[in-house]
Amino acid sequence: MKAMRNLLLAGMILLFCRSMGQAQLVYSNAFIGGAVNINQTAPTMANDFAGGISSALWNSVNNSATSYLYKDGSIGATANSVLLPFAPEAGYVYTLTVSVTFTSDPGNWLALGFASYNPASNTAPDPRFNISYVNGNPWSLFRPGAGNGGVQLYYSRSGLVGSRALIPATFPNTNTISIVLDTTGSNWIASEFVNGTQVGTNYVYATIPSIGSVGIGQTTLNSSTGIKWNYLTLEAAGTGPTVNTVNAAVNFSPANTGLPLNPSFCGLGYEKKSLTGSFFTSNNVPLVKLFSIISSPAVLRIGGGTVDTTGWGGISNTIPITASEVDAFAGFIKTLPTNWSVIYGINLESNTPVNAVAEATYAAKALGPRLLGFEIGNEPEYGFSTYGAFLARWRPLAAAMTNAVPGWAVTNGGNGWILDGADAGQGQLSAYTDPFARDESGVVSLLTQHYYRAGPSINDTMQLLLQPDPFLVTLVNNIVGAAAGHCSLGARITECASYSAGGVQGVSDVYGAALWSLDYMFTVALNGGQGINFHGGGQSPYSPIVDNGTAVQRVGPELYGLKMVSLLPHGNVVPATVTPASNINFTAYGVRRTDGTISALLNNKETSNTVAVSVNLGPDVTGARLIELTGLSLYSTSGCTLGGATINPDGTWNGGGQEVLSATNGQLTVYVPPISAVLLNPVLAPTEIAFNVNGHQLTLSWPTNYVSWLLESNSTGLASTNWFPVSGSGNTNRAQITIQPGQSNVFYRLSRP
């Protein structure tokens, strides 16, 4: 077989009249197992290369016994497509090859090829390549050549390139069939070969086809017993995309003061049911370390759809939440740095005021100052037919809790927990969110909402994810406006992810989602949102931390985005103007510090363009400390780095500032490679602290452009690690200190907060 594939590849090289270089496998699957359904299992080999994904799983679109593709290469008779996630990149020649043995005529067609979509199992009305829900592009039908047999290559779902009876009708026979997709030129080219002979002619695409998967399938067969798939391979040869350099200028208007970036903007969210396992415990050291990586204050929300299927003590036949489980969860939270707090969800649909008070009281005592607040219920539009019915159920629980649970304060004010809600889905703004903010004004301190980019649908693609979503701006403006004057802590999106229903494999769980997360978070912040909570847990593709219910298994792309945003300083988030703004998928954002300098985040979603960015971070800036987010491809599930290092499942990360770029009066140029993001934190020229001694009074002063820096002191030495801030020094450029008689060694320094 290997010799045949090599000969076939050589023939195609000559036919295309171009040097492909050494071919490398993207996917490979040998059908040599037993009669086990291949759905949601890994291919024999998968590679993060040229659009492949190392964690790819087979997706049987029609996942019923009569349509199964089995590991031994046998199949059921019903129509089906069995797909792997795949997105071709420019600069390669792809060869998709299968070997199939016929011992009889199946009476209908088998399929091979690329497709636009990879729809979820059993959701497609018809799972074949020639139906819009899969949308073959390019793809082929083939069967033995007697009667209606032959081979047909299609450049689109219904666009035929040519056909020819190349598969013999004498049995048994084994055939090697390949589709070649050449992406090395400005126009992509598709062609097909059977046993080394080309079928029809080349097809030249006028525009680049949309491809999101690759695989095999069948039309409803009269008989499937005479068919045996032997192997499938997808190879890529070439150098990949040609990288160009385009110039862009990023500017921040001095007249735009921006909006405060909430120090607790970053957050994660988990289902309430996650408390019932052994995941959230202080002994789960990798999880503790991964949470602790988010260096800014952060919020963990415990809620989701299972908040109403669980209940304190198992009320109304719900899954029980017990005191020991809350204790274990509180132990986990208290192991984290003190900058983490919790929004704790309480059952709404089947709860009673007495039971709600019992759980809230226990949780408040267990969590102590780590409790940010309570939410009651989740997405009420699914549990209640009307807003009025929801409110009638919500109000008695809220009243009981706020009257009975110690520490509650309507406006929080740092003195107790807060109440939030209504946590409606993004399509329920006018029906639930807006009236709820008005009707519970002064009771609810934090207005919350959910957001998903789209889905689940056949259009859940990376291309859609990396484009702006105008609805997100509308949603955030709506909830911020609804909260104004009613909810003292504003509005927060407490459940969000790329695509709903757990996310989309090959989109939500790959590197490109990290770049999306940066745009998403800044869009929320720029429009006044007070924070976000990326939902996750378990095996969901969109989960920032993937687990098996007990242990961490993998770090998802959104955790890289959260970590990068947490490295921003406190200040006001400000929009950027990018020139030229057209024809490049590039965005920029800034955070203006109190000293007037700007930290800039530059996000390049281009796949073949490096962006040379000219940016000014402030007149007193002499340099910028660079931290870069990189990935092997938009679709890779490994090889992602931040600050030069990978965030590992054991919770370790050895990244940080990678280099300091020089700036002249704040102006510098930085090159942002394709599919990467760069964070620039400004560096100011060192300054001296002036001093004056008058009797027992020591006066220290420093330039006004260093206001917001902290004056720190210790009595050990300059190399000490035990510096402490001088009270009030962050709001001035001058400090008066009384000299203590007998204390001979006191040291001072300025430190950026």
Look at 608 and 375; give whichever has higher pLDDT. Answer: 375
Decide: 54 and 100 in contact? Cβ < 8 Å: no
pLDDT of residue 460: 65
What are 237's strand-pairing partners?
93
pLDDT at 414 exceeding the cut of 60: no
CATH class of the domain comprising 264-566: alpha beta
Helix axes 353-367, 323-335, angle to 10 degrees: 30
Look at 637 and 75; give whichever has higher pLDDT. Answer: 75
Q: What is the CATH number of domain 2-238?
A: 2.60.120.200
Mean pLDDT throughout 652-679? 95
3-state SS track over 270-295: EEHHHHHCCCCCCCCHHHHHHHHHCC
For 162-177, how does the pLDDT look when each residue is reduced to its tens digit (9 = 90+)? 888 899 999 999 999 9
| DSSP symbols for 512-548 | HHHHHHHHHHHHHHHTT---EEEE--TT-TT-SEEES
CATH superfamily of 243-261+568-684: Golgi alpha-mannosidase II (2.60.40.1180)
Q: Which of 6-15, 338-347, 471-480 has the lowest mean pLDDT?
A: 6-15
Decide: 47 and 25 in contact? Cβ < 8 Å: yes
**Strand-strand pairing, 697-701 and 690-694:** antiparallel
Tell me which residue of 446, 536, 555 sits closest to 497, measured CA to CA: 536
- Reduced to 3 states (helix: H, G, I; strand: E, B; else coil), residue 395 is helix
pLDDT at 15 exceeding the cut of 60: no
pLDDT of residue 612: 96
Mean pLDDT of the chain: 91
For 448-468, how does the pLDDT look when each residue is reduced to its tens digit (9 = 90+)? 999 999 876 666 688 899 999
Q: What is the CA radius of gyration of the chain?
A: 30
pLDDT of residue 458: 62
Look at 719 and 541; give whichever has higher pLDDT. Answer: 541
For 216-254, how does the pLDDT look when each residue is reduced to its tens digit (9 = 90+)? 999 999 999 999 999 999 999 999 888 899 999 999 999
pLDDT of residue 724: 83
Q: What is the dihedral of CA 354, 360, 361, 366, to 10 degrees?
A: 150
Tell me which residue of 495, 526, 498, 525 sits closest to 511, measured CA to CA: 498
Q: In the structure, what pLDDT confidence band is assigned to residue 744 with cuts at 50, 70 and 90?
A: confident
Angle at 354 between CA 349 and CA 358, to 5 degrees: 100
Cα–Cα distance between 585 and 579 in angstroms, integer? 12
pLDDT of residue 14: 31
Tell me which residue of 159, 147, 58, 141 sits closest to 100, measured CA to CA: 141
Mean pLDDT throughout 194-199? 94
Decide: 556 and 544 in contact? Cβ < 8 Å: yes
Residues ≥6 apart with Cβ < 8 Å to 564: 518, 601, 627, 629, 642, 677, 679
Give exposure, 628-645, as e/b (b: 16+ Cβ within 10 Å).
bbbbbbbbbbeebbbbee
Do 264-566 and 243-261+568-684 fall under one CATH topology? no
Mean pLDDT throughout 704-724? 80
Q: 643 — alpha (psi -120 to 50), left (phi > 0) or beta? A: left
Tell me which residue of 747, 622, 751, 750 sits closest to 689, measured CA to CA: 750
Highest mean pLDDT among 139-148, 163-172, 316-325, 631-640: 316-325
What are 554's strand-pairing partners?
546
Cα–Cα distance between 521 and 538 in angstroms, integer? 23
pLDDT at 6 exceeding the cut of 60: no
Look at 10 and 386; give whichever has higher pLDDT. Answer: 386
pLDDT of residue 743: 74
Burial (Cβ within 10 Å: 0-12, 13-18, ≥19) of residue 303: buried
Residues ≥6 apart with Cβ < 8 Å to 293: 559, 563, 647, 651, 653
The residue with tokens 């046993």 is 195
Tell me which residue of 180, 179, 184, 181 sits closest to 239, measured CA to CA: 184
Domains of the chain by residue range: 2-238, 243-261+568-684, 264-566, 690-751
pLDDT of residue 395: 96
pLDDT of residue 86: 92
pLDDT of residue 10: 32
pLDDT of residue 595: 83
pLDDT at 19 exceeding the cut of 80: no
What are 609's strand-pairing partners?
244
